[in-house]
Structure 1
């Protein structure tokens, strides 16, 4: 069996991402690996829902970004508490498109494995898997474990 040293775990606070973290913790504990938690704020998707607000409203955009950052850092902190103290953990907050951002973090931190939920809190776009997990499976440079 391959030894994993760094496991990337994307999270959005959903039940499936919590289940993914449980699996990642088991693997990390047994292989003495570290865990890199990733939260990606997809601000473009959120702001596009405000089609009634003029683009000149910079305050709204700025406030949405601040709220998303606060939410993301809160989720990362909550998930970090679920990881035993003997497992090294890093938390990464990113802004961008979730699939490519997760892969960018995996590359930057030299991930040996990505463990993620099959569906998150976003709209369902895939038949069996969410669009982000499907994207990551298709493009990842390392193995991906999808947790239902």
Structure 2
């Protein structure tokens, strides 16, 4: 594990995964962490020319919001001596995870999991489940 993708949303499970990476970095010299936060892409359906400025502002706000998450995790990692790069994004989580993995040659995904039971995952789905099945590299889940 040298180049890690770390999807981060500042939830309690994500914070535990962040602490795991900080602790792991003490045993793994040269670790690089790519911190990803993905916000939903605001959409307008139809032809609303007058609302295009509103849509542009919504996207700018979503990007800024995403950056607050990535900046927080990057600062924590850098304070621990870990090389970290933030990737604020707008779009679909799995697509962005796949993109960042490919662009940065990540060898592992480390992410928090909400720890839902089997029935909850079956009914509601799980981002961790999507990532596990949607990437070709190892995924380490932190509860």
**TM-score interval, normalised by the smaller of the two chains:** 0.7 to 0.9
Aligned-residue Cα RMSD (Å) equals 2.5
1:11 aligned residue (8, 27, 48): 8
TM-score (norm 1): 0.78
Structure 2 vs 1, CA of residues 144 and 133 (structure 1 numbering), >3 Å: closer, same or farther?
same
Number of aligned pairs?
135
Q: Secondary structure at the match of 2:10?
A: coil
Structure 2 unpaired stretches of 5+: 115-119
Q: Is the 8 A contact 2:3 2:108 kept in 1?
A: yes
- Check whether the contact 2:8–2:111 (CA below 8 A) recurs between aligned residues: yes
Unaligned runs of 5+ in 1: 120-124
- TM-score after normalising by structure 2: 0.81
User: How much has 1:85 moved relative to structure 2?
Assistant: 4.5
Give, in whole Å, the separation in 1 of the partners of 2:57 and 2:5.
Answer: 29
Task: Map residues 82-93 of structure 1 onto 2, 5 A cutoff.
Answer: 82-83=76-77, 84-93=79-88
